[in-house]
Amino acid sequence: MQNSPNIPVQPNCPDRRRTQNAVVIWCRDKLARYIFLAVAFSATASLLLIALFILKEGVPFIIKVGLKSFLLSSEWNPAAEKFGIYPMIIASLWVTLGAMLIGAPLGVAGAIFLTQFVPRSIMRIIKPMIELLAGIPSVVYGFMGVMVLAPFIRNYLGGPGLSLLAGSIILGVMVLPTVISISTDAINAVPKTYLEGALALGATRWQSVHMVILKAARSGIIASIILAMGRAVGETMAVIMVAGNAVRIPHSALDPVRTLTANIALEMGYATGLHRQALFATGVVLFVVVMILNSLAIAAMKRKTGN
């Protein structure tokens, strides 16, 4: 390019170019909009598809056998076409409860400690570390349960080792990152002025935390616990490895148990016909439970943002 003139030159007829392109541009924009709209339903459509096919496979079976005998009968014997999942329901319930007894207090305590009593710099190291650990595959947790936890329980507490207790502990540890991460976010979202106000009134740090922060962050903390519950109910591989998988109603924490998820995964490989339908019906029960927990967690989250 040479030296330019100071006064801009007249452009070469822009109008024709404009009209030529206008239609193409308009079409492309419209097309993009519809594609995005269609794609935006991919997650929802997947969810519906999942629900549809799980229900389609499972519900006819439940209708045939009867919901009551399916849920409340204790006999699971596919060879004899006896399909009662009561023991698995009880097992899932206890394992989840046990996991929450361990995971919720530890996780919430960790979140409070990390946000309130630890310098930001340390928190900046520990929180990502914990989140990194959330990525450790569940089978690895399960393996640790088998190699370390189960022998420990067998030797010091008795029973076979692979047990309800082992399952609860492993699941409790597994949900820790979820609880800590979401609770920390909820606590951090509480405006600083709340805490400063309480401190200014002469409260100790713990009093302020206890009276002000926990109240303000309550919905988020509850949501974290409900989400963790969903995780625990749905966890499969780790539980299969450590919980013992015996189909019976546990009488103590040291008894081996089989959860709903374990029941599906253990027999899915070879099940056919009615048996396979029974496993899908187990999936239906699991799906319904998890959807309820999800909805509760989402509602709790909403309340947090609503305030």
Partner 1 sequence: MRKGQCVERKVKISVQNLSVFFGQHQALRSLTMNVPANRILGIIGPASSGKTTFLRTLNRMNDLDPESRAEGRVLLDGADIYHPSQSAVQLRKRVGMVFALPMPLPMSIYDNVVYGPRLSGIRNRAALDVIVERTLTAAFLWDEVKDRLNMLALRLSGGQQQRLCLARTLAMEPEVVLLDEPCSGLDPISTARIEDALTVLKERYTIILVTNNTKQASRIADETAFFLMGELVELGETSQIFTVPCDQRTSDYVTGRFG
Partner 2 sequence: MRIPPKITQALAVILLGAATLITVITLVLIIAFVLKRGVPEISWEFLSTKPREMGKAGGILPTLLGTVLLPLLAILIALPMGVGTAVYLTEYTRENRVTRIIRFGTDCLAGIPSIIFGLFGYIFFVTILGMGWSMISGGLTLAIMILPTIIRTSEEAIRSVPQAYREVSCSLAATSWETVYKVVLPNALPGIMTGVVLGIGRSIGETAAVIFTAGSSLMMPSSLNDSVRTMSVHFYLLAREGISDEKAYATAAVLVFAVLLVNLAAYWMMNRFIAKRSR
CB of 43 to partner 1, least distance (A): 24
**Contact flag: residue 144 with partner 2 (CB under 8 A):** yes
In angstroms, give the least distance from the CB of 12 to partner 1.
9
For residues 61 and 83, what is the distance between their CA atoms, to the nearest angstrom? 10
CB atoms under 10 Å from CB of 72, counted, come to: 12
Which residues inside 20-49 make contact with partner 1, applying CB under 8 A? 20-22, 25-26, 29
CB 81 within 8 A of CB 72: no
Which residue shows structure tokens 């599906």?
A: 264
In eight-state DSSP terms, residue 78 is G
Q: Does 15 bind partner 2 (CB under 8 A)?
A: no
Nearer to partner 1, 7 or 43 (CB): 7
Interface with partner 2 in residues 245-284 (CB under 8 A): 261, 264-265, 268, 279-280, 283
CB 173 within 8 A of CB 103: yes
The reply on whether position 18 binds partner 1 by CB under 8 A is yes
**What is the total count of residues that contact partner 1 (CB under 8 A)?**
17
When asked if residue 79 is in the footprint of partner 1 (CB under 8 A), the reply is no
- Which of 63, 67, 101, 147 forms a contact with partner 2 (CB under 8 A)? 147
Task: Return d(Cα 57, Cα 271) in angstroms, integer.
Answer: 13
Sequence-ordered list of residues with C-beta below 8 angstroms from that of 285, at least 6 positions apart, any chain: 71, 85, 89, 260
213 lines the binding site for partner 2 (CB under 8 A): no
DSSP classification of residue 10: P
80 binds partner 1 (CB under 8 A): no
Q: Show contacts with partner 2 in window 90-119 (CB under 8 A).
A: 105-107, 109-110, 112-114, 117-118
- Decide: 243 and 150 in contact? Cβ < 8 Å: no
Site residues (vs partner 1, CB under 8 A):
1, 4-9, 11, 14, 17-18, 20-22, 25-26, 29
